[in-house]
Amino acid sequence: MIDPIEFFGNHIFRMVFFGTSVTGLVAGALGSFAYLRKQSLISDVIGHSALPGALLAFLIAVAVLDANGRNMLGLIAGAVITGTLAALFANSIAVRTKIAIDTAMAISLTVFFGAGMILLRIISNGPFPGKGGIDDYLFGNASVITVADLATSIAVGAVALVLMLVFWKEFTLRTFDPVFSTVLGFRAGVVDTVMFATIVIAIVIGVKAVGVVLMIAFVVTPPAAARQWTSTLPGLVALSGAFGAIGSGVGAYLSVALGNVPTGPLIVLTLFAVFLVSLLVSPRRSIITAALRRARAREALRRELLAETADR
């Protein structure tokens, strides 16, 4: 085991810790809206569809602009565009056809991810400078996070959180009562585009560290855990962000402390542990609380029946 002082004294370890914590914070907070809209799978759609956007941005930078294809901001921009398009595409199918939203999301995911795999093969087989490690976007590699990557993630993540706060009323109405929000004059397409764009940003800033395969856990698990403790939207968003940041940081630390353990999978397991504890011991919605409530109800019913029997 490595002690915390030694851990934070190492530059690479610090980058891993803060990079994953920022991802967990932003993804957890913004994932609350996907969770409440019962579209948690949309994070998987966005994560997988971010791959072709990032790879296309790499190709444009290298082959067309003759620039650095690994620029974090450029890769995020490409991923945001395709991720938002994939989310809107899935919802458009569900709205305009009789296809259910889960089927529409599965279709969107496979189409965009298939395009991403084709681009990945093209880049891997082509003479493109800086292509080494490009496949890390599939499964992530937290150890390659640089100071510039971290700064970009913080800046872009902050933009997403600010957008959430600015459009808080619109997001809330669209989440809980979409019909009423339309009656009030809010354009569903615009609100959905902004909402999904912020969720896309939350996901794509973590793709380099965690990979597209595991990013769904950062968006889904923290809100599911936070929901066990709170019944208000502000409380859910804040607690979900806290769970995401703390779980990601602890997972990153354990991946280093335990030695030769991949960061992304261990963070996912840490977030699951947070969810499991919440599911078991939260004061109002936990499994144990529900079991005790049922036991007390059965005992009260038994006493009532015994009292009625005695009166007879």
For the chain, 312 residues long, the average pLDDT of each consecutive 10-residue run is 81 90 92 84 80 85 70 79 87 87 88 89 80 68 81 90 92 86 82 85 80 80 92 93 94 86 88 92 80 84 79 66
Residue 133 CB-density burial (10 A; 0-12 exposed, 13-18 middle, 19+ buried): exposed
Residue numbers of the domain that contains 53: 4-217
The whole-number pLDDT of residue 111 equals 92
Distance CA 48, CA 66 (A): 27
Number of domains in the chain: 1
Q: Is residue 124 in some structural domain?
A: yes
Q: Where on the phi/psi map is residue 68: left (φ > 0), alpha (ψ -120 to 50), or beta?
A: beta
pLDDT given for residue 21 in this prediction: 93
The alpha carbon of residue 299 and the mean position of all alpha carbons in its chain are separated, in whole angstroms, by 43
288-305 tens-digit pLDDT: 888 888 888 888 888 887
201 in a structural domain: yes
Specify the pLDDT at position 295: 86
Residue 311 lies in a domain: no
CATH of residue 68's domain is 1.10.3470.10
- The structure tokens listed for 49 are 């569809």
Say what the pLDDT of residue 311 is.
67
SS3 content of the chain, % helix, strand, coil (to 5): 80, 0, 20
Residues 177 and 106: their CA atoms lie apart, in Å, by 25
Rounded Cα–Cα distance for residues 73 and 200 (Å): 14
Residue 174 lies in a domain: yes
241 found inside a domain: no
Whole-number mean pLDDT of the chain? 85
Whether residue 166 is contained in a domain is answered as yes
Domain assignment present for 260: no
Residue 69 belongs to a domain: yes
Give the whole-angstrom CA distance, residue 70 versus residue 85. Answer: 22
